[in-house]
Every structure is written in C-alpha cells, then in structure tokens.
Amino acid sequence: MPRGVIERYRTLLPVTRKTPVVTLLEGSTPLIRAKRLEKELGQKGLELYLKYEGVNPTGSFKDRGMTVAVSKALEEKARAVICASTGNTSASAAAYAGRAGLRCVVLVPKAKIALGKLAQALVHGADVVAINGNFDQALRMVVEISRTRRITLVNSINPNRIEGQKTAAFEICDDLGVPDYHAIPVGNAGNITAYWKGYREYRAKGKISRLPKMIGFQALGASPIVQGRVFRNPKTVATAIRIGNPASWQSAVRAREESGGLIDTVTDREILSAYRMLASLEGIFVEPASAASVAGVLKLSRKKFFKKKRIVCVLTGHGLKDPDAAFKQVSPPRTVKAELKRVLEAIL
C-alpha cells in the first residue's frame, strides 16, 4: 500500500495517534541515476543521482512539509492557514487545506509567480492576494497577520514544515545510503535546513554512519547568503528562489559550516542550460529553480571540486509549473498543411 510521509516515518515526526493525518500520499519520490548527464560533468567517475521531487502530488517538495503542517493545524483546531509564496508553497497549502476543510489565504508577488502555480492555488480554492512587491515583503506581512489573528502560518518558519521535509533525506539514505555531496537550490533556505536535520537525525538513530557535504546554490541575482547581504530587489528567471532575505538564513549557514560544504551562485544562463539538459538528456522536466542544483554541480565539476564520487541533486519542482519559461527556451512547432507530402518535407 502506498503511504504518505507521515505513515512512512511516523516515529520520526511530531505526530501522535490523535493527529488527524491529511495526506495526498506525498513522498517516496524516485532517485534517478543520470548517466547521460554524468558524461557532461567536468570530472570523470562521478555518480549523479536526481531526487525528483516534482512528482509529488502538487508537483513540488512542499507537499512533504504541508502534510505535517496542515495535519498539526487541524489537530490544534485551526480554522485557516496562511502563507507567503513564490508559488509552490501556495499551491501545496491550497491543496492540503482544501482536503482538510480549512480556509487558505496566500500572498504572492504579482507577475512573478509561474502560471501553473497560480492556477493551482486558485483552483484549490485559496484566497489569493497578489501584492505589488516581492516575496520578502509578503512574508513579513503574513508573519504579522498570523501573530495577531487566529490563523496558522504554514511557511517553513513553521517547524512542522521542516519536520515533514526532512523525510526526503531519510528516503535518499534508504534508497542509496549516504551521498558524499547533497546539492540543492536555496531560496528561503527551509529545505536545506530540513535535509540537514534529516541526515543528522538518521545518523543519531544509527541508520547511517556519516553525513554528506551540503552544497547549496542561489541564483546570482538573488544570492543574499553567498554575498552576505540582503537583496532589496532580487532578480532571477528562477522565480521560485527570487528571495532577498531568507527566513532560514542562519540555519542554512549552519548546514554549510557543520557539513563542510558550501553555498555558491549560479547565473540564470547556467540555470537554463541545466534546465534544457535535464529535459533533453535525462527526460526530466523541472522548473528553472530546480535546475540550480544541477547547474551548480556542472559548475563545480568543471573546477574539479569533487573529491568523492556520489552526488545527489534535489529537483524541487515540476517543469509543467512554468510553461512560459519552457516556451522561452524553444522554437514553436512548424505548422504545415494536413498533407503527407508536406509533413514528410517538414521532418526529412
């Protein structure tokens, strides 16, 4: 029987028998060896694995955290949940809140959210408010609102979100063992925090005996952690990680320091190149932000950075989320008359 992450890892999560489990059977996502991409790396003999989180029920890794956050909100008799979002959190919150019978309010930056994500939040019945501002401003406002009203915040500063998201690290260890390097896009920095927590807990339980180096990647135009300063006006094609003042900044730095890893930048051009390579070489369609992990590994391998061989890249969200980004990378199909001769001319 398929199980969601709460049933699969119940003893490692903050739930009891009394917690009403709200699940869409998220998690248990594939870890896919990427042999054709391995050939494109600047170092020989590396093993590259892709944790494809885009196949979660709403198309991103957020579902792992949302099943826990919404189940706990329901247990605590909340009536409503609220979040700020670059898109995926809002889609996931809207879906799980809908299933739980809770009201869902989301604040998104106007015109900087991918079409599919906005469609999801609206169809799932969330109250969506677009602000003339960015994610960081939206987050400040929802934090304030949740402090003063009876409405549960489901951004990743809610510890239940991190608890749910750490299960992806458990799955990687269960499927592969401990990787040498764990590569991940960094936006608000909740996910790098969650994976690092997951790996450490699995070691404390004796399930693994060592830890991976955490290597995070921010888009150059939205790289506050790398540059050590807040970005007032973050810019990147990877709208999901267009964040200038990450809420989990300090814990991302801790994950980097404690693991002996790094947090580096990738350019939009590098992100889009990795995006096309994932789709054309491996058959894996991701949204631009997700390609940041692979872009980073391509960049570091060209500098012969890797001393050990086994690398896991997290692919955080599905490519169908952002059709506009896809169409900007390709030419439109040729149109011909509905005649065999014309079709043959077009394809030969």
The SS3 of residue 246 is coil
Residue 41 exposure: Cα atoms within 13 Å on the Cβ side: 23
Q: Which one of 15, 73, 107, 186 is in contact with ligand F0G (CB under 6 A)?
A: 186
Question: Long-range pairs for 272-276 at CB < 8 Å and ≥24 separation?
Answer: 272/237, 272/329, 273/298, 274/298, 275/319, 275/325, 275/329, 276/329
Residue 332, Cβ neighbours under 10 Å: how many?
6
Measured from the CB atom, the residue of 86 and 301 that comes closer to ligand F0G is 86
List, in order, residues 6 or more apart from 231 with CB less than 8 Å away: 221, 222, 223, 224, 244, 245
Q: Name which position in 22, 41, 222, 241 contacts ligand F0G (CB under 6 A).
A: 241
As a whole number of angstroms, the distance between CA 98 and CA 104 comes to 8
Task: Please provide residue 80's backbone torsions phi and psi, each rounded to the nearest 5 degrees.
Answer: -150, 155
Quick one: which segment of 144-152, 182-190, 220-228, 299-307 binds ligand F0G (CB under 6 A)? 182-190
Closer Cβ to ligand F0G, 126 or 189, answer by number: 189
Encoded tokens for 219? 């888009």
Nearer to ligand F0G, 156 or 236 (CB): 156
> Smallest gap, in angstroms, from Cβ of residue 175 to ligand F0G?
21
CB-wise, 7 or 226, nearer to ligand F0G?
A: 226
If binding is defined by CB under 6 A, does position 190 make contact with ligand F0G? yes
- Closest contact distance (angstroms) between CB of 323 and ligand F0G is 15
Span of 5-13, 172-180, 185-193, 228-236 interacting with ligand F0G by CB under 6 A = 185-193
Near ligand F0G in 317-346, by CB under 6 A: 317
Q: Is 59 in the site for ligand F0G (CB under 6 A)?
A: no
Q: Does 287 bind ligand F0G (CB under 6 A)?
A: yes
Closer by beta carbon to ligand F0G, 179 or else 234: 234
Shortest approach of ligand F0G to residue 292 CB, angstroms?
A: 7
Does the footprint of ligand F0G cover residue 218 (CB under 6 A)? no
Q: Does 189 bind ligand F0G (CB under 6 A)?
A: yes
60 lines the binding site for ligand F0G (CB under 6 A): yes
Distances (CA, A) of 296 to 34, 123, 149, 314: 15, 34, 41, 11
How many residues bind ligand F0G (CB under 6 A)? The answer is 21
Q: Shortest Cβ distance from residue 35 to ligand F0G (Å)?
A: 24
**What's the CA gap between 334 and 211, in Å, rounded?**
50
Q: Which of 256, 253, 240 is nearest to 183 (CA)?
A: 256
Alpha helix segments (H runs only) across the chain: 5-8, 35-38, 62-75, 88-100, 115-123, 135-148, 159-165, 167-176, 190-204, 224-227, 249-259, 268-282, 291-302, 323-327, 340-347
* Chain residues 73-102 in contact with ligand F0G, contact rule CB under 6 A: 85-89
Does residue 179 touch ligand F0G according to CB under 6 A? no
Name the nearest CA neighbour of 182 among 56, 269, 300, 29: 300
Closer by beta carbon to ligand F0G, 110 or else 337: 110
Confirm or reject binding of residue 295 to ligand F0G (CB under 6 A). Answer: no
User: What are the residues binding ligand F0G (CB under 6 A)?
Assistant: 60, 85-89, 156, 185-191, 240-241, 287, 289-290, 316-317
